[in-house]
Structures are given as C-alpha cells and as structure tokens.
Amino acid sequence: MKTLFIILLIYIAFKYLARLFAPFLMKKMAEKMQQKAEQQFGGKKTQPIVKEGETIIDKNPQKNQQSSNDVGEYVDFEEVD
C-alpha cells in the first residue's frame, strides 16, 4: 500500500511540475529552433520601419527602354463556318 501511495505521489508531482515548467521549456525549444533556422538560411533580415502612407521604391526603372511599334506580326483572323 505504501508503494502505491509513493507511485501516485510521484505521478501527481511530475504532472504538476510538467504544467509549471512546460511553457518555459517550450519557449526555449522554440528559440533554439529559430536560431538554427536563422543560421541555416542566412540570419535575420529586418525590414526598415515604414510609416503608414509612405512609399519606398527599391530600384530605379531603366531609362534606356525604347518602345517599338514593330512589336509583332499582325494576324488577320477569319470566321470559319
């Protein structure tokens, strides 16, 4: 009877401690996984803070583009009955 009581007490203590420390352990595991992923894929890429309504253009358009009227061949389609 004493052995059964000890086993039950250990089970309840383990269950209580698991609920107490599980969030902390999960947070640490998630941080480790995030660090591994950052190392594997080149680290953090932070985006600059942009105010609402502000527009940012990453690259300038090419200025030497010339429009050509000779874009393609004109095809005249006819209806087939």
Find, among 35, 38, 15, 17, the residue nearest to 27 by Cα: 35
pLDDT tens digits along 26-70: 999 999 999 998 888 876 666 667 788 888 777 877 776 665 666
Distances (CA, A) of 3 to 9, 16, 46: 10, 20, 57
pLDDT tens digits along 25-37: 999 999 999 999 8
The domain spans of the chain are 1-44
